[in-house]
Amino acid sequence: KDQDRVVNLSNEDLTKRSFSRLPMRNVNFTGSEFKRGANFYSCKATYSKFNNAELYNAQFGSATLHNTIFDGANCQSAEFQQCEGNNTSFKKADLNKSHWSGCNLRNANFEDASLINANMSKGKFTDSSFKGADLKSVNFDEATLSGCDFTGAKNIPNQAFKKAIFR
């Protein structure tokens, strides 16, 4: 089937490329470099892989990320505001200083990820896992965290869950 075909862009230097508003089902970006803030604004990256990709300062605002994998990716200072997705994985990803305001992720996997200084405020992370994640200086202010697992999470600040919703 055409919908199951994988487009392989792994280990490529994709600097200065914009994927804004593009449908990207089954695209493999594993190990690729997106220098100077790649633009994925409002793209539909379902079933795509960004494993170990360099996505520093990337823009994923309003993107659709169903079954998308970012395991081991460098997403420092990336913008995920207003994105949505089910079963999105960020295992062992560097998400330091990333922004997630208004996102809606269900069953996301942040296991062993680094979320130092991440702004997760007003995001929805229903049934997501933060097992073993480094949450130093993270902000979950007014975030929806019902069904989330924080087992073994490290460096949780006292004010991290200010006004967070757990129902």
Instruction: Read off the amino acid at residue 125.
Output: F
Please give the pLDDT value at position 26: 93
Please give the pLDDT value at position 3: 54
Please give the pLDDT value at position 44: 94
Please give the pLDDT value at position 162: 79
Please give the pLDDT value at position 138: 95
CA-CA distance, 24 to 46, in Å (whole number)?
Answer: 7
Low-confidence spans in the chain with pLDDT less than 50: 2
Please give the pLDDT value at position 157: 85
Indicate if the alpha-carbon torsion angle 35, 125, 131, 99 is positive or negative. positive
| Backbone conformation region of residue 141, classed left if phi is above 0, alpha if psi is from -120 to 50, else beta | beta
CA-CA distance, 73 to 36, in Å (whole number)?
Answer: 15
